[in-house]
Amino acid sequence: MDLEINGVLIVALITGFVELCTRIGLNKRYAPIIAVGLGIISGIFYIDAANIQNSILIGITLGLSSVGLYSGTKNTLLNKTLNDKKILDSHMK
């Protein structure tokens, strides 16, 4: 149970940190690499796994989950904005 709760929190922290880095000026192309790297670091130092290989694997999973959360949220918001713009444009004509 602790890994599930901690994992969700770590994914949220990684997502937030990557977003902060992209707003500061990091090229968005490098965001997945940063997320996986942070996931591996958090897996090694924070998650209590049986051995280092399990910690690294869990860290990779956390980083990739963060990338998926970031991408899914961005795409959802972008699609909503585009749909709202289409509706507004159709009413303006």
Query: Tens digit of pLDDT for each residue in 53-82?
Result: 988 998 999 998 888 866 666 656 656 565
Which whole-number Å values give the CA distances from 1 to 5, 6, 30, 66, in the listed order?
6, 9, 32, 19
Reported pTM: 0.69
Instruction: Tell me how far CA of residue 54 lies from CA of 5, 25, 36, 60, in angstroms.
Output: 18, 33, 15, 10
Count how many domains the chain has.
Answer: 1
Tell me what pLDDT residue 28 has.
84
- What is the pLDDT of the chain when averaged over all its residues? 79
pLDDT confidence band for 25 (50 / 70 / 90): very high
Asked whether residue 2 carries a pLDDT value surpassing 60, the answer given is: no
What is the domain extent for residue 81?
A: 2-92
